Structure 1
């Protein structure tokens, strides 16, 4: 039977300077009892304005600072709070880990979910999945949901005040969207949500890439100076919405598998988006991409501060690289959406070659 094409996205998306002050007005239809699953920085940057949005209202609010990782034990802890406090709506306030933990909590407990990203470091807010980790930090699984979040609210002024390294990482995550989708379309792979890839999905993925190229550098300048500009707003939309909805409706490929391979080492410090950016270059190597296209992506990475060499991600031994390649190629990994069947050795060779090309570009 031919695979049905489909499109998925958050039911509501709100973005702009001062959006937190409108939180209750925008979300009041969902319920009266709220659990805010916060990162430390998320609580500090959002609590005051969120409380202002509830002025004059008697809604129940509980703010819970979670343990920093979307692990099995942290999700179970949040589930217990939802049950004990009779929560109507779970709200994620923070980066990718807080988002993933809150989405999983809401799903298991049958509650509505609202996402408030405080950094634009990944496309997790809009996607219909969570990355779940074991308690030791190693990758456990992708948890797929029957629908995307009920709402996503992004306050651009919060993103502007966050460290610029997170915005750069977000652009790295978003960079892979178009190229991973293009590879998946070529092999007639399903979308990330197991439907057929739509023209709309690919158009969003392409719009994500075009926005990055047009506004990336200017957005970094705005963020470095903690101001909201049209360029920064455009990049926030690209990294949060276009990348998330694009990825959901196309698919991932080598870049995200490379990242999962890196996490298999345990205790890594490289940002998700930085790994995905370097993984995009690895994918182009595997695809034997045109020299001009490869160098064009290198140029973009250099322009915005994304890595083009392994040393920019961390200190890896040759044994580490073989481990990364082996775990990135296990059954079910998205690297298999590439044409042909990528073996661990082929990925290892592509990692080495991509790193060498980056060193040559930097004159090292």
Structure 2
């Protein structure tokens, strides 16, 4: 059975944050705003003014910086009482958005996401991640439905650090490989359904936009300018990539994060950087031609994305590290989403092939 999920409403553009009051008011219900400290310092006054002008008096909470179970409990205690919010709007980076999703999950409230960066496609999804105090992954949990509303202010995004935007491109560029492989293999998407071909089409379009506009979008960010290319890239990395992975499914590249997140120095790298590299390995495992792999890796290298473990972690892996990475990758539920079954040995051989083939590019 095909299952396709998405946010109810998506709003993107320069100045979109100014519309947060009107957008929240149209949803109806009491509101709690969870704001990360940086966003509160830069835009807090404007957010409050926009809410007041729409007749809203939301409860405002400041995020501590880590999405942990103790932090979630602290936030829930802060809104405990007879007037619990019906909407939780999370305004900030990925951890803040995860915490907002966690709050809404516990409260049975609707969730609104307002990302301050475009480093992943998480703002549109019904998934959130909880960590411990040492930033080790504790659990991946799921909401009953996707966010009610996503607001993406490209004037905010363009002011964020370049590496964060580049990581978002890395997370999006390989969705074409993962989603297509999952669909072809008859795998399950993030809703437990069959891959939607609408999601495959979105993954392909997302890939085409990245190839066509990534360089211009990065140049626009360097100038601090919101251009049509920048708008297209943000839509691709946040909306299209998010819808593609949730309703299309994942494969080897995201499976590899199990090992990459556990091994130093690769665990210190952003998710999107890990995924960009892992897609080069996936292409080898899925049987892509060497020319196709070379083109993909060449594009990634040209815009600043890693294509080897040595790129990603500033050193080559040891044989034992390759074995651990391959073994941990095999524990993922997405690992079977390939044209043919693979083993830990196959993964290790693909990792070694990538390191050898692209060593000169480092």
The answer to whether structure 1 residue 326 and structure 2 residue 317 are counterparts is: no
The answer to which of 275-284 and 342-351 deviates more is 342-351
* 1:313 CA displacement: 1.8
Q: Which residue of 1 aligns with 2:36?
A: 39
Match of residue 218, structure 1, among 192, 216, 219: 216
Q: Does the aligned pair in 1 maintain the 2:51–2:58 contact within 8 Å?
A: no
Q: Which residue of 1 aligns with 2:107?
A: 109
* 1:31 CA displacement: 4.2
* 1:339 CA displacement: 3.2
Match of residue 89, structure 2, among 64, 88, 91: 91
Distance 1:336 1:141 in 2: 21
Match of residue 23, structure 1, among 20, 23, 34: 20
Distance 2:357 2:35 in 1: 41
**1:1-364, aligned counterparts within 5 Å?**
4-31=1-28, 33-56=30-53, 59-84=56-81, 86-265=84-263, 268-314=267-313, 315=315, 316-330=317-331, 332-360=332-360, 362=361
The answer to which of 165-174 and 191-200 deviates more is 191-200
Q: Does the aligned pair in 2 maintain the 1:37–1:66 contact within 8 Å?
A: yes
Q: How many pairs does the alignment contain?
A: 358
Q: Deviations over 1:192-211 (max 9, x none)?
A: 21112122111111111111
Aligned partner of residue 9 in structure 1, secondary structure: coil
Aligned partner of residue 20 in structure 2, secondary structure: helix
Query: What TM-score do the two structures reach when normalised by structure 1?
Result: 0.92
CA gap 1:91/1:344 in 2 versus in 1, 3 angstroms: same
Aligned partner of residue 80 in structure 2, secondary structure: helix
* 1:186 CA displacement: 1.5
Distance 1:318 1:74 in 2: 39
Structure 2 stretches of 5 or more lacking a match? Answer: none
CA gap 1:10/1:280 in 2 versus in 1, 3 angstroms: same
CA gap 1:80/1:326 in 2 versus in 1, 3 angstroms: farther
Q: Deviations over 1:103-139 (max 9, x none)?
A: 1220121011110011100000001211233343222
CA gap 1:206/1:25 in 2 versus in 1, 3 angstroms: same
Aligned partner of residue 334 in structure 1, secondary structure: coil
Structure 1 stretches of 5 or more lacking a match? Answer: none
Aligned partner of residue 356 in structure 2, secondary structure: helix
Distance 1:128 1:327 in 2: 25
